[in-house]
Amino acid sequence: MQSEDAIDLRRQLRLTWLLLTVVAVVFVWPTLRVWLGVGMAASGTPRTVTPRGELAEFEQSTVELFRTVSPSVVYLTTRSRIASPFSRRAIEVDAGSGSGFMWDEFGHIVTNFHVLQEASSAKVVLWDQSSYEATLIGGSADHDLAVLKINAAAAKLLPVAIGTSGDLLVGQAVFAIGNPFGLNQTLTTGVVSAKSRSIDSPTGRSIEDVIQIDAAINPGNSGGPLLDSAGRLIGVNTAIYSPSGTSAGVGFSIPVDTVNRVVPQIIANGRYAPPQLGVRVIAELSDAVTQRLGVEGVLIFHVVPGGPADRAGLRETVIGQSSLVRPGDIIQKIGEKTVRDMNDMLEALERHSVGQTVTVEYLREGQTESVDVVLQ
């Protein structure tokens, strides 16, 4: 016969197990069932979608901008002709890709000169994926601009609206549409980071008044449009500053004021010819004379007879048999732009047009003088 102590011990053990079971059910099982996935809805029903309401105003305007302008943006692929390693015949190979945009309703396409620099042929792909072989009309390497032409139905030729770049403000919103890495119809956004930057053109000559932006610009964006919030063209995307070759938040765009001056001449003449002052300059001689005199400017070596400078009375350099007899006038300012070297002088002239009258400030025998010159 069991003792009362043994019976009490068994009761206590049963009570202990009962308490442990209750604790496990209350505290351990909820965690365990979640871990095992038992806590998910048995039916696997998707979560209820929360309505988002209308797009924010800035989102809606961005959507509308892309919807309006993207049909004007094209994707360019180029091919180059090389000698076949297996025969003497020339073959065409893929050379690269880029972006462009429709300039007018006649099928003219604007892009960067460097996109086409090594190309023997180019194909233009439109927004609807239709493609056309393009004809090169001409270009200006000094401005990194080129013009192609395609023969497409009028309904597909949707020129982008033209804006201005002279009144841009740092911090102003900008939008870039292009084909980075061959991914066509890509939109990136940012702001004007700075103005009046200078970058080198394919010829090494500097392009002035360039727009700096932080919108992502990558290989393949070259030649695509930079737009303001009204969807107007304000620049042509041309370069990035990045050690890796990909976007680092520093992109550059040729200002539309330059584009709108250069492109019409390319369309009309196949090339761009800046207004002429009618003078010739020898850079080495100009540098030597200005350094000796301790002044800045461009020395006139020769005045073209009957040209604008000649009619205005500007003086050329006189050289004897072995020495400089009399230095010519030293141009120091054209219009509103200070002239320190040849690049400055060319840039100053390009701000004006043929037939326009500009004031030229120059140094003659130590005295600063000025005269009005009609450019040709």
Q: Check residue 305 and give its pLDDT.
A: 93
Q: Check residue 242 and give its pLDDT.
A: 52
CA 239 to chain centre: 6
CA distance 314 to 336: 19
Give yes or no for a contact between 183 and 300, defined as CB atoms under 8 angstroms apart: no
Position 25 confidence tier, pLDDT thresholds 50, 70, 90: low
Q: Check residue 273 and give its pLDDT.
A: 86
Quick check: 18 pLDDT over 90? no
Average pLDDT of the chain is 86
Report the CATH number of the 173-269 domain.
Answer: 2.40.10.10
Phi, psi at 57, each rounded to 5°: -60, -45
pLDDT in tens, 330-370: 999 999 999 998 888 888 888 888 889 999 999 999 999 99
Structure tokens at 71: 């049909």
Higher pLDDT, residue 248 or 311: 311
Quick check: 108 pLDDT over 80? yes
Q: Matching CATH topology for 67-156 and 279-374?
A: no
How do the domains of the chain map onto residue ranges?
Answer: 67-156, 173-269, 279-374
Amino acid code (one letter) for 184: N
Element (H, E) at 92: strand 90-102
CA distance 191 to 234: 12
pLDDT (mean) for 12-25: 65
Identify the CA nearest to 259 among candidates 347, 193, 164. Answer: 164
Position 103 confidence tier, pLDDT thresholds 50, 70, 90: very high
Q: Check residue 207 and give its pLDDT.
A: 83
pLDDT in tens, 162-195: 999 989 999 999 999 999 888 889 999 999 999 9
Give yes or no for a contact between 277 and 308, defined as CB atoms under 8 angstroms apart: yes
Quick check: 50 pLDDT over 70? yes
Position 87 confidence tier, pLDDT thresholds 50, 70, 90: low
Position 13 confidence tier, pLDDT thresholds 50, 70, 90: low
Q: Check residue 234 and give its pLDDT.
A: 97
Quick check: 38 pLDDT over 60? no
Position 205 confidence tier, pLDDT thresholds 50, 70, 90: confident
pLDDT in tens, 293-307: 999 999 999 999 999
Least confident range from 5-19, 60-74, 184-198: namely: 5-19
pLDDT (mean) for 2-21: 64
Question: The pTM is what?
Answer: 0.74
pLDDT (mean) for 62-69: 96
CA–CA distance from 141 to each of 119, 246, 260, 262 (Å)? Answer: 14, 23, 16, 11
Instruction: Name all contacts of 96-99 with Cβ < 8 Å and 24+ positions apart.
Output: 97/179, 97/182, 97/220, 98/179, 98/220, 98/221, 98/222, 98/223, 98/224, 99/73, 99/74, 99/75, 99/177, 99/178, 99/179, 99/220, 99/221, 99/222, 99/223, 99/224, 99/225, 99/237
pLDDT in tens, 260-285: 999 999 999 999 988 889 999 988 88
Residue 269 CB neighbours (<10 A): 11
Higher pLDDT, residue 34 or 70: 70
Amino acid code (one letter) for 243: P
Q: Check residue 57 and give its pLDDT.
A: 92
The secondary structure of 133-167 as a DSSP string is: EEEEEEEEGGGTEEEEE----GGG--PPPB--STT
Position 319 confidence tier, pLDDT thresholds 50, 70, 90: confident
Structure tokens at 74: 């094209």
Overall fold of domain 279-374: Pdz3 Domain (2.30.42)
Report the CATH number of the 67-156 domain.
Answer: 2.40.10.10
Give yes or no for a contact between 143 and 254, defined as CB atoms under 8 angstroms apart: yes
Quick check: 225 pLDDT over 70? yes
Catalytic annotation, residues: 114, 144, 222
The secondary structure of 159-228 as a DSSP string is: PPPB--STT--TT-EEEEEE-GGG--SEEEEEEEEEEEEEEE-TTSPEEEEEEEE-S---TT-TT-EEE-
pLDDT in tens, 140-159: 998 999 999 999 999 999 99
